[in-house]
Structure 1
Amino acid sequence: GSNEVSYQHKQEVEPAPLIIDANSSGEPETLTLDLQPSNLMVDQGPQKTIEYVALIRGTEPITRDQALGVYRQHEYKMEKRNRIYGFNIENGLWRDLEHEEQSSEYRDICLTIQMADPEGPVSDSELHRFSQMSLEVAEELDRPILFSMDFDEGIAQAQELDRFRKEMDSIFIVSIIARSEHGLTLAAIHREAEKLGLRYSDENIYERIRMNADHQAEVLFSMANMFKPGELVKGDSDIHTSGLTLFMRLVSVSSPVDVYADMMKTATSLAKRLNAILVDQETRPINERMTVSQTKAIMKIASSMDERDIPAGSELAKRLF
C-alpha cells in the first residue's frame, strides 16, 4: 500500500535517518579533554526497537516552540513514556525537543510512545490515543504523517516485546554460608569486603561499582545479608549472620559474562577468607560444572538481547526493563 514507504525512501529532501545504532554511544572513542556535556552532541533519535513511531515530514523549517506548542495542545495523558523529537537542521541530528534551545529549527518531527516497560505492553486504547494525537498534530502542522507500522502490528509487537522482556530479565545469585554454627561476624565481613574493593552503599549492603562512559557509578553486582532485610549494619562488631548472598541483574550490566566471572571470583575469595562454603539457591555446594552452565545461560541471554538490538546494560535495556 501507499503507507508502506521506507523511511530511507529517496525524496527531493533527503529524509533524516530514523534508526541509530543502539550499540554506539555516539561519543568519541577517547576523550583527552574534559569537555562540557553540551559539546558532545549525540543523536537522540526515535528507537524503533522499543518505540511506536509517528514521523511527521516537512520541507519547511519549524521552530522548537511551534512544534512543542502544537504537541502540548494535543498531548493526551499517557501511561507509557511518549516523546517528541525533531531533526535539527543545524547539526543534522535527531534531538529531544523538550531539551533543545528555543532558537533551534527542525525539518521533520517525530512522536513516539514506548511499546513496553516493566508495567507491561502498551494497551489498545493507549496506542489508539497516541495515534489520534499524532494525526491531530500532523493535521495542525499541515504535514504528511507516516507510522512505523500499522496499529494491529504495533499491538502485536508491543506484546511480543513484553514477552521478550519477561523472558530475558534474570537475576543470577550465589550464596556464602558459614561452616561454623556460630556463623560469620559482621566485623569480618566488612573487613574482607573492603579488602576486595566492594563499596558500602546507602542501603547498608555492598556493591561492585564501575564508572561508565558518563562518569556515573554503575552497580555491577551486590552483596547482602542472607536474612531480611538484607542489611549488613556497621557499628556492632558482635553481630553474626549465617550467610551472605551475591546477586547481579543480567539485563542492567554491559558485558554480563565478565560481571558474572567477577562476582564468582569475589564470592570464592570471600568464602575462603571467611572459612565459608559457596552454594547455589538450593544450598548445593557450587562446582565448576554449575559455573560453566550459568555462564552459558548468561551468554545465551546476552546474545538474544544483542540480536534484538537491545544490548544488556544499554540505555534501551534500562528503558525496557
Structure 2
Amino acid sequence: MSDLNLALIVAAVGIIGGVWALNWWQERSFRRKAEQAFEKPAEDVLLERKPKTAARAEPDTPRLEPSLVDTSPAVTPVTSPSPQAETTAALSVLPNTVLDSGIDFIAELHLTEPVAVRNLQVSMEDAANIGKPVRWSGLDAEGEHWSMIHPGAAGSFRQLRVGLQLADRKGPVSDAQLLEFVRIIRLVGEDIGAVVELPQRTPALMAATDLDTFCADVDVLIGLNIVSRDGTPFSATKIRALCEAAGMQLADDGLFHLRNEHGQTLFSLCNLGQESFSSATIRQMKVNAVTLLFDVPRVVGGVSVFDRVAKLADHLAESLDGELVDDNRRPLNEQGLGAIRRQLIELYRRMEQRGIQPGSPTALRLFA
C-alpha cells in the first residue's frame, strides 16, 4: 500500500469520526434544550385549568415577548401647552379601559372631518363576525374625550381607534382573522376618507401567541368541594340559608355568587350534581356535594378573597356535617389549603410581572 493510499484512509477515518462527534454533540445539545423546554412542575389537583369553549392552540415557536409597533405620535411635555399640543396629547392617549396596546392590535384612522357613527354601522357588523373581540373607540368632535363606540349610537368622532383582541380563552388570533380585520379597516378608511395606520402584522401574530401561552399558564379555576360524610344528602334550603348568610345570592345561572360593590363575582357555589340550583325547585332539592369556585385571574384582591373562600368552605362543611375534600375525594386540611395558597401567590406574581392585574379590565377581557 502506497503512502498516498494510507494517507487517504487516515483522512477518511478522521472525517467520519468528526461527523460522528458533531452529530453526537448536536443531539446531546438538542436533548438538553428539549428537556429544559418541557420541564413543568406537577399541578395541584384543585388548581384546574379553566375549561375553554375551544382548545387553546399550543404554540410550536419559542416564547416571544410582545413586540407590537406603536404608531401613536409621540407627545413631548411642554411647560405651557398650546392648543395644538393639547390636541396632540388627546389624540395620543387612550384609556386602557377602552383599548390596550398590550392585548389589542390597534388601527388608527385619521380624519379631516368628523364621521357619524351611522356611517360605520356596516363595518362594525362585519368586524363583529371575525371571531375575536373588536372594540371601536373615538375622539369626540371637540377633540376632548375618547369613548367606546357602540353599534347604533349617536354622535360624531374626529379620530377613530379600532382594536382587535390578540387572544382570549379560545386561543390566539389567527393570521386569517388579522387579515380580515385589516381588510375591513382599509375599506372603512376608503369609505370615510381617513388615513389608516396599522401595526406590523408579523410581530402582532408573535405577540398573540406569546400572550396566549401566558394566559393558558395562569388561567386556573380553584374548586373546594364539600361532600356528605355518610352519604346523607344536604338540604338545598339549608345551603341557601348558609350562602345568603355569607352574602351570596342565587343567580340565573343556577349558582350562588358573592359579588363586590361593582357587581363582579368574587367566588361562587354550585351543585356537583347535574341539577342546578333554582328558586322554583330548591325547597324539594337534595344535594350530595357542592363546590366553591374561584376563577383565579378574574378576581380583584385574589389571595385575600381565597382566604374567605377557604374560611367559608370550612364553615359549610361544619354546618352541613360534611367534609372538605379535593377532586379525588381526599380530605383537605389546613396544610393542603396552604399549598394551594402558595401556588396562588405565584400565579398572581406572574400576572403582575406581565402588567396584568387580577380582576382588572384587561384581565376580564382576556379571561372572559
TM-score (norm 2): 0.67
Q: How does 1:201-280 map to 2 (within 5 A)?
A: 201-212=251-262, 217-231=263-277, 233-236=281-284, 240-280=286-326
Q: Are residues 290 and 17 of structure 1, via their aligned partners in 2, closer, same or farther at CA, if it must alter by over 3 Å?
A: farther
Q: What's the counterpart of residue 340 of structure 2?
A: 294
Amino acid at match of 1:49: G
Does residue 1:188 correspond to 2:188, yes or no? Answer: no
Considering only CA atoms, is the larger Rg found in Structure 1 or Structure 2?
Answer: 2
Which secondary structure state, in structure 2, belongs to the residue aligned with residue 98 of structure 1?
coil
Give distance in 2, aligned partners of 1:196 and 1:187.
14
Give distance in 1, aligned partners of 2:126 and 2:221.
41
Q: What's the counterpart of residue 87 of structure 1?
A: 139
Does residue 1:128 correspond to 2:179, yes or no? Answer: yes
Give distance in 2, aligned partners of 1:62 and 1:209.
41
Q: Please, which runs of 5 or more residues in structure 2 have no aligned partner?
A: 1-67, 77-83
Which secondary structure state, in structure 2, belongs to the residue aligned with residue 246 of structure 1?
strand
**Offset from partner CA, 1:69-90 (integer Å, 9 cap, x none):** 7956996952222233222253
Which secondary structure state, in structure 2, belongs to the residue aligned with residue 251 of structure 1?
helix
Amino acid at match of 2:356: I
Give distance in 2, aligned partners of 1:263 and 1:138.
50
Q: Please, which runs of 5 or more residues in structure 1 have no aligned partner?
A: 23-43
Using the TM superposition, give the Cα deviation of residue 267 of structure 1 relative to its aligned residue in structure 2, in angstroms: 1.0
Give distance in 2, aligned partners of 1:61 and 1:169.
44
Q: What's the counterpart of residue 54 of structure 1?
A: 107
Using the TM superposition, give the Cα deviation of residue 196 of structure 1 relative to its aligned residue in structure 2, in angstroms: 3.0
Does residue 1:155 correspond to 2:205, yes or no? Answer: yes
Q: How does 1:166-181 map to 2 (within 5 A)?
A: 166-181=216-231
State the superposition RMSD in angstroms.
3.2
Which secondary structure state, in structure 2, belongs to the residue aligned with residue 57 of structure 1?
strand
Q: Are residues 90 and 275 of structure 1, via their aligned partners in 2, closer, same or farther at CA, if it must alter by over 3 Å?
A: same
Which secondary structure state, in structure 1, belongs to the residue aligned with residue 92 of structure 2?
coil
Does residue 1:112 correspond to 2:163, yes or no? Answer: yes
User: Which structure has more helix as a fraction of its residues?
Assistant: 2
Using the TM superposition, give the Cα deviation of residue 264 of structure 1 relative to its aligned residue in structure 2, in angstroms: 0.9
Give distance in 1, aligned partners of 2:106 and 2:317.
51
Q: Are residues 89 and 304 of structure 1, via their aligned partners in 2, closer, same or farther at CA, if it must alter by over 3 Å?
A: farther
Give distance in 2, aligned partners of 1:191 and 1:210.
20
Give the one of 75, 96, 105 matched to 2:148.
96
Q: What's the counterpart of residue 188 of structure 2?
A: 137
Amino acid at match of 1:92: E
Give distance in 2, aligned partners of 1:191 and 1:98.
41
Which secondary structure state, in structure 1, belongs to the residue aligned with residue 130 of structure 2?
coil
Note if contact 2:138-2:146 (Cα within 8 Å) is conserved in structure 1: yes
Identity across the alignment (%): 22
Which secondary structure state, in structure 2, belongs to the residue aligned with residue 304 of structure 1?
helix
Give distance in 1, aligned partners of 2:276 and 2:288.
12
Which secondary structure state, in structure 2, belongs to the residue aligned with residue 297 of structure 1?
helix
Q: Are residues 125 and 286 of structure 1, via their aligned partners in 2, closer, same or farther at CA, if it must alter by over 3 Å?
A: same
Give distance in 2, aligned partners of 1:101 and 1:209.
30
Q: Are residues 196 and 97 of structure 1, via their aligned partners in 2, closer, same or farther at CA, if it must alter by over 3 Å?
A: closer
Give distance in 1, aligned partners of 2:228 and 2:333.
17
Amino acid at match of 1:199: Q
Give distance in 2, aligned partners of 1:209 and 1:203.
14
Amino acid at match of 1:115: L
Give distance in 1, aligned partners of 2:358 and 2:334.
25
Amino acid at match of 1:188: K
Give distance in 2, aligned partners of 1:204 and 1:76.
29
Q: Are residues 194 and 68 of structure 1, via their aligned partners in 2, closer, same or farther at CA, if it must alter by over 3 Å?
A: closer
Give distance in 2, aligned partners of 1:286 and 1:298.
16
Q: Are residues 76 and 279 of structure 1, via their aligned partners in 2, closer, same or farther at CA, if it must alter by over 3 Å?
A: closer
**Offset from partner CA, 1:287-308 (integer Å, 9 cap, x none):** 2222222122222222333333
Q: Are residues 195 and 96 of structure 1, via their aligned partners in 2, closer, same or farther at CA, if it must alter by over 3 Å?
A: closer
Give distance in 2, aligned partners of 1:255 and 1:129.
38
Q: What's the counterpart of residue 9 of structure 1?
A: 74
Give distance in 2, aligned partners of 1:187 and 1:55.
55
Amino acid at match of 2:282: K
- Of 240-249 and 171-180, more deviation after overlay is shown by 240-249
- Of 192-201 and 5-14, more deviation after overlay is shown by 5-14
Give distance in 1, aligned partners of 2:126 and 2:254.
46
Using the TM superposition, give the Cα deviation of residue 21 of structure 1 relative to its aligned residue in structure 2, in angstroms: 4.5
Q: Are residues 180 and 140 of structure 1, via their aligned partners in 2, closer, same or farther at CA, if it must alter by over 3 Å?
A: closer
Note if contact 2:115-2:192 (Cα within 8 Å) is conserved in structure 1: no
**Offset from partner CA, 1:1-34 (integer Å, 9 cap, x none):** xx96752425976252345355xxxxxxxxxxxx
